[in-house]
Structure 1
Amino acid sequence: MIICIGAGPGDIGYLPQRSAELIRNADVVAGFNAVVNVVQALIPQSAEVVLMGYRDQVAQLDKVAQLHHAGKKCVVVFMGDIHFSGFQYLERVERACGHPVDTIPGISSAQILASRAKVCFDETTFITFHRRGDLTPFKRHLVHVLEDQRNAIVIPCPWDEARSFMPWHIAAYLLENGIPAQQPVEVWEHLTQAEAQWRGTLAECAHQRFSDMSIMLIRTMNPIPSQIEPPPEAQ
């Protein structure tokens, strides 16, 4: 068995019970160092832990695949939810194993942000730049989302200095592409951990600096009015 699980946004309290059970019964637990640290308390002493980073992930996943094919119960942990920013990592797992693998979703920072900021996903588009490859189509999509008067929850790209797309880069790009300078923006850092929040305008965001553990909410300037029934008239 090999299964990939979303470990949540950084607080083990958000880990799904099914995922916790799989970790407790695993022969092998694998993932990036920071993600494995989140679930460390659940890993049995008998389990083999396979840690990795961006540079050695392919080689380390090959090792996990070998253990899987040898009959070990393997769990690969992802930060947040697998299908929000982890799909390329999932592709690497499946390439190493040579077949599709089962997944269990987790709570993502985007879901936590929606809860903290009281925005509805029906009226909000989620876009992640935390990916390898050409970011241009996703940048254009973000412009269209805001032009369509929707909220946008955005995960920046922090880990490659040559192509980083952090909140200040995102703000500058949007301003260059006609999004109003007064568009309201929030940047939240270390959700579910040492949370910090910043609120301002797109123009102000272009001059701010935030940590790698950041997520943005760009609010529409024309919120959709409530469509529930009107309140009862006062007697």
Structure 2
Amino acid sequence: MIICIGAGPGDIGYLTQRGAALIRDADVVAGFDAVIRVVQSIIPASAEVIKMNYRDQVAQLELVAAAHHAGKRCVAVFMGDIHFSGFQYLERVERACGHPVDTLPGISSAQILASRTKVCFDETTFITFHRRGDLAPFKRHLVHVLEDLRNAIVIPCPWDAARSFMPRDIAAYLLAQGIPGEHPTEVWENLTGNEAEWRGSLAECVDREFTDMSIMLIRTRTPMASQIEAAGAA
């Protein structure tokens, strides 16, 4: 048996009960170092832990697949929700195993951000740049989202300088594409952990630096709370 589970955005309190039960019953628990740290306290002492990073993930997933084919209960743990930014990793798991695998969704940082900022997903588009491959189609999609007057929740790309597309880069790109700099913009870091938030405009975001653990909200209009305050002041 092998199943891929979303472990939430960083606080084990956001791991689902079903996900926790699967980890506690596992013979093998696999994942990137940061994700393993989130669930370390509930991994049974008898379980084999297979950690990996971007460089060795293919080789390490071969070990997980071998354990799965040997009949062991294997869990591959993902940060957040598998189907938000983890889909390419899921494909690597399935490639190693040679067949589709079961998944258990988790809570994503996008869902937490929507809760913190009180935005409705019906009026919001989620886009992740946390992926391998060509980012150009997703950049164009983000422009169209804002032109269509929808909010955008965006996960940046934090990799090497050649591909990095962090909040300041995203803001600069959008301004260059003619998106107005007045869009209310927020960047949150370390959601459910040692949280930090920044609020300003898209134009102001160009001059700000943020950590790899950041997520961005670009609004199409002023937040409702500010509208209410402005109406009261009038």
Which TM-score applies when normalising by structure 2?
0.94
* Shift >3 Å, 4+ stretches: none
Residue 142 of structure 1: aligned partner: 142
Structure 2: distance between partners of 1:188 and 1:115? 12
Instruction: Trace 1:78-157 onto structure 2 (pairs within 5 A).
Output: 78-157=78-157
Structure 1 unpaired stretches of 5+: 225-235
Secondary structure in 1 aligned to 2:217? strand
Q: Is the 8 A contact 2:124 2:152 kept in 1?
A: yes
Structure 2: distance between partners of 1:206 and 1:7? 32
Instruction: Trace 1:188-207 onto structure 2 (pairs within 5 A).
Output: 188-207=188-207
Q: Is the 8 A contact 2:130 2:155 kept in 1?
A: yes
Aligned residue-pair number? 224
- The amino acid across from 2:6 in the alignment is G
Structure 2 unpaired stretches of 5+: 225-234
- The amino acid across from 2:110 in the alignment is A
* Pair 1:46 & 2:75 matched: no
Q: Percent identity?
A: 80
Question: Which of the pair is proportionally richer in helix?
Answer: 2
Q: Deviations over 1:121-148 (max 9, x none)?
A: 0000000000000000000000000000
- The amino acid across from 1:184 in the alignment is P
CA deviation after TM superposition for structure 1 residue 181, in Å? 1.1
Residue 6 of structure 1: aligned partner: 6
- The amino acid across from 1:174 in the alignment is L
- The amino acid across from 2:55 in the alignment is R
CA deviation after TM superposition for structure 1 residue 221, in Å? 2.7
Q: Is the 8 A contact 1:5 1:75 kept in 2?
A: yes
CA deviation after TM superposition for structure 1 residue 162, in Å? 1.1
Instruction: Trace 1:140-179 onto structure 2 (pairs within 5 A).
Output: 140-179=140-179
Residue 69 of structure 2: aligned partner: 69
Q: Deviations over 1:163-204 (max 9, x none)?
A: 100000000000000000111100000000000000001110
- The amino acid across from 2:203 in the alignment is A
Secondary structure in 2 aligned to 1:45? coil
CA deviation after TM superposition for structure 1 residue 222, in Å? 7.4
Structure 1: distance between partners of 2:9 and 2:198? 19
